[in-house]
Amino acid sequence: MNIEVHIDWQQRTILAGRLYPADQSAAVTFEYDREWLARPGAFAIDPIALPLRAGQYHAPALFGAMQDCGPDRWGRVLIERAVRKRVLEAKPYRDLDYVLALEDFSRIGALRFRRVGGGNFLAEGDGRLPPVLRLGALVAAADAIHHETETAQDLRFLLGVGSPLGGARPKSAIVLPDLTLAIAKFPKPDDTRDIVGGEILALTLARAAGITTAGHQLVKAADRHVAVITRFDRAGAERVPFVSASTLLSLAPGVAGSYIQLADGIRQHGHDVSGDLRELWRRMVFSLLVSNHDDHMRNHGFLLRAPGKWALSPAYDLNPVPAIDRVTLAQTAIENSGAAPSIEGALAAAPHFDLERKAAKAILREVIQAISGWRKAGERLRLGRGTLAAYATAFDHPLMAEAQAVGAHKIAAQASLKATDVARKQPGLLAVARAPTRTVSRPRRGISP
């Protein structure tokens, strides 16, 4: 089945090209549509793999920009279970089949797919996403997947209206009361700590540290924590083109990449190049200092802001990892030199991010200042004492000691900086800090689905 690839741009859905998948392998061929090529303001939908030129592009596997809007581990588990339970008719076997199994309405980014010649965009759905009130039921369905006790109804719920989106952890697309789209990220029954609470804590600290973050709230549903993350790839009804950093750099599967490489990608394809380079350096030291070892290249993303100009998306999927778990996860390197990440290494790399050492140190101090309030921020989020204890080694570790030594003299002078001062600079913070954890006790009957 050959596929038309459309893109939503400036409130219109436009045919960008056609995709020709091989029958018996993962190989694909893509060709831009002639009208798209001739269109003023046209852009490459995949900046390196598919430059905006006539002719056919061949690849052994699906192009990164198309993978980015398909399912990852969580979605694939759902799809495979759904095939087993005959909720889905055909077993997908190529990456493209998995991409097409996801609902069009809630698909990440602005790409849309349909059969060559017409028909509805795939996968068809009624576009009715579960509201926040259904979180309890969604958590219960995700738990059932974990325990392998799910029913066909659970699968329809999570796979249909709840469209699984990317990533490995259980999640669902949902709609907020003001009709904005969001991602609900659920706890897993075998989590050894409050992972969801830790993610919201990290996002809260990141915002306090001056990092642009996705909107976030910690919500209680069926007595469990759920992270509700506002979608940044929608602006009202408009879809915003999205690619992962992995796609922007055209990294082969399994290639880790580095922050320096990402900085080069921003230089080549960036929108506000200097601003994003500085923002990236801030995110890099933040990740080092909150032990965010989950900063792989699909956890950095870019949004198209002007034709061919990709801007860093708000930060998402930030996860503090306590010392006990750090061995299993490799953090993205500052550069591919094999050197262990260090604050001195980050400072030495600063010129690559358009930062002089003095300016970099000033950013470092702001980041340390914000993270040093982690316990208070956790208490404001009402994380349990056990949870805070579990995360202590994510915030208190040798790299933090090194950072404090580097910026020590100024930190003392800033010690009187109150949370409200930081919040004044970051208007969302106080609201998040003050907002009590919302409680969604029981799913109500009679609401979709």
Ligand X SMILES: Nc1ncnc2c1ncn2[C@@H]1O[C@H](COP(=O)(O)OP(=O)(O)OP(=O)(O)O)[C@@H](O)[C@H]1O
Give me the helices (H) in 85-189, please.
Answer: 95-101, 135-147, 152-156
Helix, strand, coil percentages (3-state) for the chain, rounded to 5, are 40, 20, 40
Least separation in angstroms between residue 394's CB and ligand X is 16
Q: Which is nearer to ligand X, 104 or 354 (CB)?
A: 104
Least separation in angstroms between residue 122's CB and ligand X is 19
- Residues 278-297: x/- map of binding to ligand X (CB under 6 A)? ----------------x---
Question: Would you say 334 and 257 are in contact if contact means Cβ atoms under 8 Å apart?
Answer: no
Q: Which is nearer to Mg ion, 167 or 320 (CB)?
A: 167
Q: At what angle do helices 195-208 and 273-289 cross, to 10 degrees?
A: 130
Q: What is the spatial distance between Cα 248 and Cα 168, in angstroms, rounded to a whole number?
A: 21
Largest CA distance in the chain: 67
Which residues fall within 8 angstroms of residue 356, CB to CB, at 6 or more apart? Answer: 350
* Nearest in space to 116 (alpha carbons), one of 35, 36, 45, 21: 21
416 CB-contact burial (10 Å; exposed 0-12 / middle 13-18 / buried 19+): exposed
Which amino acid is located at 109 in the chain?
G
Contact residue for ligand X among 95, 143, 154, 233 (CB under 6 A)? 233
Q: Which is nearer to ligand X, 4 or 317 (CB)?
A: 317
Contact residue for ligand X among 276, 317, 354, 366 (CB under 6 A)? 317
- Residues 77-96: x/- map of binding to ligand X (CB under 6 A)? --------------------
Token pair of 272, please? 């506000």
**DSSP 8-state symbol, 292:** B
- Cα dihedral sign, 371-375-379-384: positive
Q: Which is nearer to ligand X, 38 or 330 (CB)?
A: 330
Contact residue for ligand X among 79, 161, 165, 200 (CB under 6 A)? 165
Residue number of the CB atom closest to Mg ion: 317
Q: Which is nearer to ligand X, 229 or 333 (CB)?
A: 229
Binding flag, residue 302, ligand X (CB under 6 A): no
Binding flag, residue 219, ligand X (CB under 6 A): no
Q: Which is nearer to ligand X, 76 or 271 (CB)?
A: 76
Contact residue for ligand X among 204, 258, 299, 426 (CB under 6 A)? 299
Question: Would you say 120 and 98 are in contact if contact means Cβ atoms under 8 Å apart?
Answer: no
Q: Which is nearer to Mg ion, 245 or 347 (CB)?
A: 245
**CB under 6 A: which stretch of 3-11, 21-29, 163-171, 277-285 binds ligand X?**
163-171
Q: Which is nearer to ligand X, 261 or 332 (CB)?
A: 332
Site residue total, ligand X (CB under 6 A): 22
**Which residues 176-205 are close enough to bind ligand X by CB under 6 A?**
183
Q: Pick one of Mg ion, ligand X, none as the site partner of residue 9 (Cβ within 5 to 8 A by kind).
A: none
SS3 403: helix
Q: What is the spatial distance between Cα 118 and Cα 113, in angstroms, rounded to a whole number?
A: 10
**Which residues 241-260 are close enough to bind ligand X by CB under 6 A?**
244
Judged by the rule CB under 5 A, the positions of this chain that interact with Mg ion are 167, 299, 317
Q: Which is nearer to ligand X, 159 or 406 (CB)?
A: 159
Phi and psi angles of residue 131, each rounded to the nearest 5 degrees, phi first: -80, 170
Within 10 angstroms of residue 92's Cβ, the number of other Cβ atoms is: 18
Contact residue for ligand X among 123, 145, 196, 229 (CB under 6 A)? 229
**Which residues 411-440 are close enough to bind ligand X by CB under 6 A?**
none
**CB under 6 A: which stretch of 23-31, 120-128, 231-239, 278-286 binds ligand X?**
231-239
Binding flag, residue 231, ligand X (CB under 6 A): yes
**CB under 6 A: which stretch of 51-59, 226-234, 345-353, 405-413 binds ligand X?**
226-234
* Nearest in space to 197 (alpha carbons), one of 367, 385, 373, 371: 385
Q: What is the spatial distance between Cα 261 and Cα 278, in angstroms, rounded to a whole number?
A: 14
Phi and psi angles of residue 354, each rounded to the nearest 5 degrees, phi first: 60, 30
Q: Pick one of ligand X, Mg ion, none as the site partner of residue 390 (Cβ within 5 to 8 A by kind).
A: none
What's the CA angle centered on 391, arms 387 and 395, to 5 degrees? 150
SS3 397: coil
**Which residues in this chain contact ligand X in the complex, by CB under 6 A?**
68, 72, 108, 165-169, 183, 214, 229-233, 244, 294, 298-299, 301, 316-317
